[in-house]
Amino acid sequence: MQKEKTKMNRNKKVEKIINEWKRCVELYKNKKITVEDAKKIYYMEREIKLSSKDLKYMYDDYYFRNCVGNKTLADKFFELKGLNVSEYKKLPLKLANVKAGDKVLDVGCGRGVIIFQTANLGAISTGLDFSSDAIRIAQSVREMHSSEIRNRINFVLSDCEEILFPDNTFDKVFLLDVVEHLSNEEINAIFLEIRRVLKPNGLLIIHTSPNGWIKKYGYLITFTISFFLHRNILIHPRILELKENLYYILHINEQSILSLKLLLYKCGFRSDVWTQKSKIGSRNDNIIKILYGWIFDHELYALATPKKQM
């Protein structure tokens, strides 16, 4: 009985957030959203731990055409048939070192930019996403390519917690700009599925942003310094972030180096996790420089391989 009551209360809170978001998104699209509007969303989201499934309908056509990166990047995506790459995806592609004939999976593929890149390199490339709008857009861009490229591309509408492929199928798995959109329970389920479908010598490549420690510690440090310098910073940065881009509500679980590494370890991966500018792992690095990077560097990357079975 208590469980049912708790579930009902949670559902009411989720519904309340969604209704407020629906109201605000129209203001946002017309550039009329105010700090007060963003504040309401901020205080509502603090009341409950959200999952990607709670917010699934927000991953719509407007989001994929206007809010992934930005509208300019989206326009270029269509103009160049998906072969333009944002700065943050260039490094994962380089690290993956995809070869012709590799089997590649992109979990949470969105518009499919990674899939078009890897297929162009000769890889057999599959993109998964739970958004029907994302898959529809990706399929429409796939049709712009030659039959040779199209034959190497497959897009699947799927809940990413259940990857419908046999064990040990893929050489490379990408998980880019997805982790921050998932609850820890969802991350665990997806990591376990990725480990299952990844070949024993396969590679998982992750990018997530922003580094969770920016908000946990960086903002506190900034606020403290600003207070002592008598600067008038009284609005929480998350509120300003939501006002600037309301779709940041979809960032429900931002990771740090340590939290991401721990999640990967628990799911059977060895991993290197680092921020974009720090040089984690070098014994010659100054400890202050490393700690500064852990807290203030914005982008988080990871390379992970399955731990050997005993």
Q: Among residues 263, 268, 267, which one has the least CA distance to residue 300?
A: 263
Distance CA 194, CA 192 (A): 5
What pLDDT, on the 0 to 100 scale, is given for residue 195?
A: 98
The number of C-alpha atoms within 13 Å of 99 and in the hemisphere containing its C-beta is: 6
What pLDDT, on the 0 to 100 scale, is given for residue 273?
A: 94
In the chain, what percentage of residues exceed pLDDT 90? 49
Strand partners, 272: 303
What pLDDT, on the 0 to 100 scale, is given for residue 45?
A: 84
Check whether 284 has a pLDDT greater than 60. no
Tens-place pLDDT, residues 170-190: 999 999 999 999 999 999 999
* Residues 163, 107 contacting (CB under 8 angstroms): yes
Q: Which domains does the chain have, with CATH numbers?
A: 2-48+212-249 (no CATH), 71-210+251-306 (3.40.50.150)
Report in angstroms the alpha-carbon separations of 38 from 15, 23, 107, 245.
Answer: 17, 11, 30, 10
Helix (H) or strand (E) holding 157, with range, is strand 153-157
What pLDDT, on the 0 to 100 scale, is given for residue 295?
A: 60
Tens-place pLDDT, residues 186-204: 999 999 999 999 999 999 9
Check whether 222 has a pLDDT greater than 70. no
Q: What does the pLDDT average to over 204-226? A: 71
Q: What is the DSSP letter of 58?
A: G
pLDDT interval class at 84 (50, 70, 90): confident
Check whether 74 has a pLDDT greater than 80. no
The number of C-alpha atoms within 13 Å of 186 and in the hemisphere containing its C-beta is: 19
Q: What does the pLDDT average to over 136-155? A: 96
pLDDT interval class at 65 (50, 70, 90): confident
Q: What does the pLDDT average to over 65-83? A: 78
Distance CA 205, CA 97 (A): 11
Check whether 78 has a pLDDT greater than 70. yes
Check whether 40 has a pLDDT greater than 70. yes
* Residues 130, 55 contacting (CB under 8 angstroms): no
Other Cβ atoms less than 10 A from the Cβ of 218: the count is 20
Distance CA 249, CA 239 (A): 10
pLDDT interval class at 132 (50, 70, 90): very high
Query: What are the structure tokens assigned to 298, written together?
Result: 């914005």
Check whether 288 has a pLDDT greater than 50. no
pLDDT interval class at 233 (50, 70, 90): low
Tens-place pLDDT, residues 235-276: 777 888 888 888 888 998 889 899 999 999 999 999 999 987
pLDDT interval class at 228 (50, 70, 90): low
Check whether 232 has a pLDDT greater than 60. no
What pLDDT, on the 0 to 100 scale, is given for residue 306?
A: 97
Which residues 6+ apart lie within 8 Å of 171 measured at CB?
102, 103, 104, 199, 202, 203
Looking at per-residue pLDDT, the higher value among 296 and 87 belongs to 87
